[in-house]
Structure 1
């Protein structure tokens, strides 16, 4: 029933926003009128029974209406609106059908993402065909539609994992806004449909490997797949290799002498499997740099903003994440760490505590990122690689300083990671810009 109601989103491209608004009003009024009986049982969320109202359906329709208003007033593509509504409705349907045959979390996530992606592609293609009056031109737009649909499906699956199932309105709004953002970057997309599918296969396989090796939770796996897909499509495989080097090496480092870390009380929770918060805390700045690079390439940013700066900001952020992770995971198993601000001895696991072994591991981590960047990007010279190493060390140091001063009282661990990677990214970009200006 929810999937059928979502299909009514086609009313907007078929009859215009007035017809869409009228249908939404009818559904809302019907939801208000139905307070019990078989129809109520069919449409009610668990919390609706206590209230005696179909508030879940009402908020669901209002969220869809909000996206419709944004599409009409703020120039969000109508295809994004229709694709998003169908994505949520049919993704949920695929999930429910999957529960008939399995209770495996991974398989249910796969069912949701598959159904959601297919529905979103159909929604976008149908809207384009209605607007153009023909199916010609859809083949050329297919890679973009697949990318937008898959990205939205992954974000929806992630939000469903970390939120409640009843939060479908929040999921719908978030997916719609992401689709709108990515649609604006369409001029930066140059991959074919097969290349988009290849990128999906690569990121899904690596994401599942991280889950199977217990270096990432379901949410962490979904976050990694989404970020990897965005990186490949908007940046390229070189950018992805740099990012995946952090995920792979950082994830494996959490398993380094894990039993000893457990005894010391410094081990990662969930047997070292990293969740979405940890992944985003370390990679959000890097992904922002990828988006900035794509926006610059698509001429959505000032023309005097050199796209290469975003490449170095990306490398600086990843170098910081790698340095900090290796420093923490390797340095934490050595005795007698010292607080970075006073150099007094502290207990292992103390925020801001450092060991010389951890510092060396951090420098090695930054060097690995710099070496990969040097090998893959012609824009990264020997001096550029040295700057990336320096940025990684600066970011790692900022992380320790924040840990010793603000973590626990003002900032959480993920906030510290975010600010540290931001400092590494800014340091790297500013150093490169300064050299360019001096040269």
Structure 2
């Protein structure tokens, strides 16, 4: 057994102390249960901080811990769980959210370390983290149910477990491994949010959603259209879209991911020579994917709770379609339009060099219109929109594309980065489509 695997097992054993929560719940006085849930992790954190050598240090020490002479990684991990345990005992925090946060991380980490013994491929490692983290979290909730705790029905349990494991893998891919406390807290709060939505997905929808999104991630990474973080971000967003919205919502989102990624790869070497190519050989990172999809994600979550907020669900359906239309329109406009030698600045119409922020070509505008029309047409098919509804989605996409160019010509560079511009462009399109639908 390698040191990394042994350490992962050690962290999993410490995390298993979280099962004290459902074990003590309802069996002892509330104060005793609170102390019994929080205290073990505080004790482990204290012992970890004081350990500077010996078998415990050798088992849990990461490279950074060895350099600093203390088990800061284990201490941070334990304090993160202790903090979540305090939230659990002080508020109406579901025990399932607590368990998912802990077991998705610890079991997922063990799966990643076991996989690393056979292949260094980061995509394989993160996939193992997500799969085994999901299984570990589901098993923990099932065990909690056997112990008498209130846990969600199996379909919802699988959904929140998969969401927690994917989110944990994503956060871990952009942070240091020793930041496990942030992973635990973030996953716990997000799972709590989903449990509070009152969702009741079917096992069929959850199962198909996981299968579809896993296939999407595999294809995107295999084709080189997304990095590991981009793959994880896309898979997580797609899973939310399938379960919270439906399969039609997924079709719109995956169309943007697929066609947008291929557009970035189109004549990539020529774009590289012009200085307009996407970084990392056209593979989109998590920040890029999230900037283009965040508004759509908010729209699908709002759709899921629309019955509780008194806003017609159709408003959020239009907002989602408009945001996705803008994302694809802007991608087509820049990826295809940038290949032509006649760009003009959108604010002055003066000729500028290819790749200048805010530069447009008529070919790019046409390409963007085609991209928006693709999403508009799919919205008509899968959302059952009539002709005016389809035209509204197309119009919103063009508005978003235009806002992107205007912001690029005026604010990008000095005040906004590319991802900020993308976010505001999709937001403008979502607002136009949603507000117009509400007004109409």
Q: Does 1:75 align with 2:92?
A: yes
Q: Distance in 2 between matches of 1:261 and 1:47?
A: 41
1:221-279 Cα shifts (integer Å, max 9, x gaps): 11111111110000000000011111111111112222211111101111111111110
1:117-145 Cα shifts (integer Å, max 9, x gaps): 11111122222332359xxxx7x811111
198-207 or 393-402, which moves further after superposition?
Answer: 198-207
Task: State whether residues 83 and 122 of structure 1, in contact with CA within 8 Å, keep that contact through their aligned partners in structure 2.
Answer: no
Q: Summarize the Cα distance change of 1:132–1:28 in structure 2 as closer, same or farther, 3 Å threshold.
A: closer
Q: In the alignment, what sits opposite 1:237?
A: 247
Partner secondary structure for residue 101 of structure 1: coil
Q: In the alignment, what sits opposite 2:76?
A: 59
1:277-308 Cα shifts (integer Å, max 9, x gaps): 110010010011000101114x2xx22x1111
Task: State whether residues 380 and 386 of structure 2, in contact with CA within 8 Å, keep that contact through their aligned partners in structure 1.
Answer: yes
Partner secondary structure for residue 148 of structure 2: helix
Q: Distance in 2 between matches of 1:230 and 1:111?
A: 20
Q: In the alignment, what sits opposite 1:12?
A: 21
Q: In the alignment, what sits opposite 1:191?
A: 202
Q: Distance in 2 between matches of 1:333 and 1:58?
A: 53
Q: Distance in 2 between matches of 1:257 and 1:103?
A: 30
402-411 or 70-79, which moves further after superposition?
Answer: 70-79
Of the three residues 402, 413, 416, the one matched with 1:411 is 416
Map 1:177-326 to 2 at 5 A.
177-187=189-199, 189-192=200-203, 194-297=204-307, 299=308, 302-303=309-310, 305-326=311-332
Q: Distance in 2 between matches of 1:109 and 1:132?
A: 30
Where does structure 1 lack aligned partners over 5 or more consecutive residues? none
Task: State whether residues 79 and 125 of structure 1, in contact with CA within 8 Å, keep that contact through their aligned partners in structure 2.
Answer: no
Task: State whether residues 321 and 379 of structure 2, in contact with CA within 8 Å, keep that contact through their aligned partners in structure 1.
Answer: yes
The CA deviation at 1:38 is 2.3
Map 1:330-349 to 2 at 5 A.
330-349=336-355
Q: Distance in 1 between matches of 2:273 and 2:224?
A: 19
Partner secondary structure for residue 30 of structure 1: helix
Q: In the alignment, what sits opposite 2:166?
A: 154
Q: Distance in 1 between matches of 2:285 and 2:376?
A: 26
Q: Distance in 1 between matches of 2:374 and 2:53?
A: 63
Q: Does 1:383 align with 2:388?
A: yes
Q: Does 1:421 align with 2:426?
A: yes
The CA deviation at 1:219 is 1.1
Q: In the alignment, what sits opposite 2:4?
A: none
Q: Distance in 1 between matches of 2:417 and 2:140?
A: 40
Task: State whether residues 42 and 79 of structure 2, in contact with CA within 8 Å, keep that contact through their aligned partners in structure 1.
Answer: no
Q: TM-score, normalised by structure 2?
A: 0.93
Q: Distance in 2 between matches of 1:243 and 1:317?
A: 10
Q: In the alignment, what sits opposite 2:7?
A: none
Q: Does 1:94 align with 2:111?
A: yes
1:85-114 Cα shifts (integer Å, max 9, x gaps): 111111111111112222222221222112
250-259 or 26-35, which moves further after superposition?
Answer: 26-35
Q: Distance in 1 between matches of 2:243 and 2:171?
A: 22
Q: Distance in 2 between matches of 1:272 and 1:132?
A: 48
Task: State whether residues 285 and 418 of structure 1, in contact with CA within 8 Å, keep that contact through their aligned partners in structure 2.
Answer: yes
Q: In the alignment, what sits opposite 2:55?
A: 38
Of the three residues 350, 354, 362, the one matched with 2:356 is 350
Q: Distance in 1 between matches of 2:129 and 2:201?
A: 27
Q: Does 1:118 align with 2:135?
A: yes
Q: Which runs of 4+ in 1 moved over 3 A?
A: none
The CA deviation at 1:45 is 2.6
Q: Distance in 2 between matches of 1:105 and 1:386?
A: 43
Where does structure 2 lack aligned partners over 5 or more consecutive residues? 1-9, 25-32
The CA deviation at 1:64 is 0.6
268-277 or 97-106, which moves further after superposition?
Answer: 97-106
Q: Distance in 1 between matches of 2:36 and 2:323?
A: 48
Task: State whether residues 80 and 124 of structure 1, in contact with CA within 8 Å, keep that contact through their aligned partners in structure 2.
Answer: no
